[in-house]
Amino acid sequence: MGLRGPPKKPAVIEIAEGFPGRRPINTREPQPARRRPKMPKAVKDDPRAALEWRRLVALLERTRLLTEADGKAIEVLCRQESVRQQASESIAKVGLLTKHPETGHIHANPLLRIENEATDRVIRMLREFGQTPASRRGLEADISSDIDEIESMIG
């Protein structure tokens, strides 16, 4: 049997939320370096996925949520976004309904299922990175290091 309850949040998210559960924070949680992961070949070879990679990595860097350990999760997200876009474009060309070639019956385009499944996966992955309105609710940005950096530059 799996773990019960909602999945545990990383310490960085708990801290950003201001300790809402009042439980102690895991101070021994592994802390991967805040460094941009390398774009995988599968993403580089897909123009849609590569575009989403660049957009998402830049956004995660600005929000200080990106670490070197996030590469695989971002790859999955970007490849699913590419599948979603391709299905959506194909549906726009062919239409929502298709006619069965043998029976002549009209039914929903099978690409709708692919698009819906990819959309669900993309939304789930975006939640992992705090990139949906509901997943950002309660987060607080830590700007103290920005202030320290600016003060050190001023002197």
Integer CA distances (angstroms), 52 to 4, 57, 60, 64, in order: 33, 8, 12, 18
Q: What is the pTM of this model?
A: 0.74
Cβ–Cβ < 8 Å for 149, 27 = no
pLDDT at residue 149, rounded to an integer: 55
Spatial neighbors of 123 by CB under 8 A, at least 6 apart, are: 132
C-alpha 67/C-alpha 50 separation (Å) is 18
pLDDT at residue 96, rounded to an integer: 94
Is residue 19 over pLDDT 90?
no
pLDDT in tens, 59-106: 999 888 889 999 999 999 999 999 999 999 999 999 999 998 899 999
